[in-house]
Amino acid sequence: MFNSILVICTGNICRSPLGERYLRAMLPNMRVDSAGTGALVGHAADESAAKIALINGLNLDGHQGRQLTATVARDDDLILAMEKSHIEYVSRIAPEARGKTMLFGHWLSQKEIPDPYRKSEEAFVSVYSLIEQAGKYWAEKLGS
């Protein structure tokens, strides 16, 4: 039984906040947080990420970048990573958490979700679309 999910990316200001807020909306009875492997600690969500979130009915207000640590990795029942390199990072810092770490794009044929940071608005639209598609699958699998 899963009660908590941690969504991870690199900086914790684009992809993981989008994934976190999307899953929070889809799974209201679950605790969903996010963190980054090289987080911009204390930073608000990226402006382009916040904009694409609003267009899609989500709000990234109040988000603050947070570093993924071994303690943070141990806290949640499931860790969803945007890239394979993030899974490797979890394996290095918290080997015991490796077994509960999967790609966010797991149900999309193990697809990695590319980093849109400092890229075009189209890149953010594309990334959001992947997060939404993958998030729907996770919500279906984990929803009660």
Summarize pLDDT for 21-63 with one digit per residue, the tens: 999 999 999 999 999 999 999 999 999 999 999 999 999 999 9
How far apart are alpha carbons 13 and 5 in whole angstroms?
17
What's the pLDDT at 1?
A: 76
CA–CA separation, 105 vs 19, rounded Å? 11
Residues catalogued as catalytic: 9, 15, 115
Task: Quote the pLDDT of residue 144.
Answer: 56
Low-confidence stretches of the chain (pLDDT < 50) are: none
